[in-house]
Amino acid sequence: MTRNPRQMPMTMDLPADLARDSFIVAPCNAQALAALSAQDWSGAAWPAGKLVLHGPEGSGKTHLLHIWANATGASRVAACDLAQTDLAELTETGYVALDDADALSASPELETAAFHLHNMLAERGGRLVLAARAPVRDWGLRLPDLLSRLQAAQHVALTSPDDALLAGVLEKLFADRQVRISDRLIPFLLPRMERSLAAAQALVTRLDAESLARKCAISRQLAADVMQMSLDFD
């Protein structure tokens, strides 16, 4: 059966809360948070002042980069923008957070820029945190000097969120939108949703929009309808 698309109201996406107080600590991310909370980010925990956080999309890597940048004054940059970035200005604070670092292998220019960034920070005893979906060995880097230097960094893995973390995130997302839900809703959602924080964000946004479209509260029936609609349009 073909379902006619329903017109849904435009809803204002609230800015992501990436502060330390909003980070929900769970076994899947506690080690990464502890590494970033070290006092000097050096020694055995951070060989040569480098740390690589790797894990699936939605596991909290970008949130952790923001926490560290807020604590240190670090500059933040996406790997895809590195070749067009003023590296001297980027490294001015001595702390740099590089997101989506596995994208460095997309071009020789990005790899070269990353190599220069690494060396500039190393010369001044700076600190570099990289976030990626996989460990460095799986990025496909072709520049041997860059590969060897980044492989020497401490690697900390984040895993997909467990039920406790997903439940906490869902509660927070609904609260951020000032949406009251029943105690039965989240236990209903957990076994039926994709296991990622990004999926939790998308689901809450969709539920909020659909409840406004129907002018009704968010219930288990509404959630079931929204999830079925998503399957119908896949």
pLDDT at 60: 84
Angstrom distance (rounded) from CA 105 to CA 79: 10
User: What is the reported pLDDT for 132?
Assistant: 97
Whether residues 167 and 80 share a domain: the answer is no
Q: What is the Cα–Cα distance from 88 to 147, expressed in whole angstroms?
A: 22
173 and 138 share a domain?
A: no
Segment 184-209 mean pLDDT: 89
Domain boundary among 157, 192, 217: 157
Q: Which of 129, 157, 185 is the last residue of a domain?
A: 157
Dihedral over alpha carbons 90, 95, 100, 101 (to 10 degrees): 90
Q: Which CATH number do you get for residue 93? A: 3.40.50.300
Q: What is the mean pLDDT of residues 139-164?
A: 93
- Asked if residue 147 belongs to a domain, the reply is yes
**Domain co-membership, 96 together with 128:** yes
Residue 168 lies in a domain: yes
Give the residue from 157, 190, 216 where a domain finishes: 157
Instruction: State whether 37 and 113 are in the same domain.
Output: yes
pLDDT tens-digit series, residues 5-60: 343 333 334 445 566 666 777 788 889 998 888 755 554 568 788 999 999 887 88
Sheet holding 154-157, edge to edge: 75-78, 95-99, 127-132, 50-54, 154-157
User: Which of helix, strand or coil describes residue 127?
Assistant: strand
Q: Are residues 58 and 119 in the same domain?
A: yes
8 inside domain: no
Mean residue pLDDT across the chain: 86
220: left (phi over 0), alpha (psi -120 to 50) or beta: alpha
Write the CATH number for 200.
Answer: 1.10.8.60
Same domain, 129 and 222: no
State the pLDDT at residue 7. Answer: 36
Its domain, for residue 115, covers 25-157
Does any domain span residue 49?
A: yes
Is position 55 within any domain?
Answer: yes
pLDDT, residue 106, reads: 97
Please give the Cα distance from 192 to 218 (Å, whole number). Answer: 16
Pick from 41-55, 65-79, 203-217: least confident: 41-55
Q: Residue with structure tokens 């039920």?
A: 163
Q: 194 with 126, same domain?
A: no
pLDDT, mean of residues 219-226 = 94
Q: Is residue 9 part of a domain?
A: no
95 band by pLDDT with thresholds 50, 70 and 90: very high
Q: Give me the pLDDT at residue 165, please.
A: 83
111 and 150 Cβ atoms separated by less than 8 Å: no
- 50 and 89 assigned to the same domain: yes
